[in-house]
Amino acid sequence: MRVLGVESSCDETSAAVISSRDDDATLDSLVILSQDVHAIFGGVVPEIASRAHLAAIAPVVRRALADARCALGEVDAIGVTNGPGLVGALLVGVSFAKALAASLGVPVIGVNHLEGHLFATALEDGAAVPPFTALLASGGHTMLLDVPAWGEYRLLGATRDDAAGEAFDKTAKLLGLPYPGGRHIEALAKEGDPSRFRFPRPMLHGGQRAGDADYYDVSFSGLKTAVLHAVRDAERRGALDEERPHLARAFQDALVETLAAKTVRAAVEKGRTRVVLGGGVACNAALVSAVRERVRAQIGGDAAVFAPSPRLATDNAAMIARAALFHLARGERSDLSLNAFSSMPLA
């Protein structure tokens, strides 16, 4: 069985081929074309993203098939992201996938982008399987999930305002760093003194109990505002250049501690010994390290934390193909009325 995956939910045009035999899934190829043009604007411009997908999708798919040494006639199904994301960008991938599936006479399977992120790590580590607690953190989403089995997703908490990746990008802009901001803040934070600044850990305090409305939820708008005030103060003092790494470190420490604490809190509460991280923010080494340290301290034993490599943490078609393979094995198919949706609940 060979599944072609297509991903175009935001500013990456991606295609991948996965082959399966019995319960094993093998990644045969993965091509990701990132749209660097958005760096000029400090964020993704939806119309530009859609037009870039139109130009790139056919060459990207051809390259993925060539890398997998797979002819079009050898594709058994096509999985495509149909939400959540930028509608115009999604429509490019959905329309392409439906047309190609119809021409080949093979099934097309619409995949929730967030579910794809849950499957990403399992492509690299066969132990990253349910039951587990999942933290999905990206530029558009931040949520905690309890996953007792594939296809069963229970939402525990989510961001009430900015997503974690969005907070990284906005903070990077305040600090005069390029877009996307995550990797630049992470690199700069390594040079920072953790004792120079301390920002609040939003929605994280010792008095919270299971069942409280804010027990698993996160919020980063206040943290962003705290950084803004600190940046303005440094500018007034003419000290922003020297304070920049310390501000980056303080911001990252606050965000990472909040996410790590809430994630392990969920794992302990639900009795999970596996934690899976997904989304672009899962590339952050400080976050992965903090979650692992808390898991060792609070769960111990044979508990494990799984994080995808940067290639599979970003938006990619391999995770979409893997999720499509799961639905295909359950006999699920989409028809040609498959549409794109800017929002699509997972749990």
Tell me which residue of 240, 246, 258, 277 sits closest to 145, measured CA to CA.
277
How many helical (H) and strand (E) elements, i.e. helices and strands, does the chain have? Answer: 10, 10
Cβ atoms < 10 Å from Cβ of 70: 17
How many CA atoms lie less than 13 Å away from 204 in the CB half-sphere?
22
* pLDDT over 70 percentage in the chain: 99
Maximum separation of any 2 CA atoms in the chain, in Å: 67
pLDDT of residue 37: 81
End-to-end CA distance of the chain: 28
Average pLDDT, the chain: 94
| Number of other residues whose CB lies within 10 A of the CB of residue 59 | 13
pLDDT of residue 203: 85
pLDDT band at 35 (very low <50, low <70, confident <90, very high): confident
**The two three-digit tokens of residue 116, written as one number:** 């794809």
Which amino acid makes up residue 10?
Answer: C
Q: Do residues 136 and 163 touch, judged by C-beta distance below 8 A?
A: no
The conformation of residue 170, written as its DSSP 8-state character, comes to: H
Q: Angle formed by the axes of helices 221-236 and 164-174, to 10°?
A: 10
Helix (H, G, I), strand (E, B) or coil at 129: coil
Residue 36 binned pLDDT confidence (cut-offs 50, 70, 90): confident
Helix (H) or strand (E) run with residue 24 in it: strand 24-34
pLDDT confidence tier of residue 22, bands split at 50, 70 and 90: low
Q: Which domains does the chain have, with CATH numbers?
A: 2-118+314-329 (3.30.420.40), 128-307 (3.30.420.40)
- pLDDT at position 211, please? 80
pTM score, whole prediction: 0.94
User: Token pair of 122, please?
Assistant: 């399992």
Report the C-alpha gap between 176 and 167 in whole angstroms. 14
- Per-residue pLDDT of 134-176, as tens digits, reads 999 998 899 999 999 999 999 999 999 999 999 999 999 999 9
CA pair distance 157, 291, nearest whole angstrom: 17
Whole-number Å distance between alpha carbons of 35 and 50: 10
d(CA 195, CA 192): 9
Q: Residue 85: which H helix or E strand, with range?
A: none
**Three-class HEC string of 192-230:** CCCCCCCCCCCCCCCCCCCCCCCCCCECCHHHHHHHHHH
11 secondary structure, DSSP code: S
Distance CA(38)–CA(89), nearest Å, equals 14
Any idea which of 87-91, 102-106, 209-213, 284-288 has the lowest mean pLDDT? 209-213
Stretch 5-18: mean pLDDT, rounded?
96
Structure tokens at 159: 């961001």
Indicate the range of 249-253, 293-297, 299-303, 308-312 predicted with least confidence: 299-303
Assign 3-class secondary structure to 94-123. Answer: HHHHHHHHHHHCCCEEEEEHHHHHHHHHHH
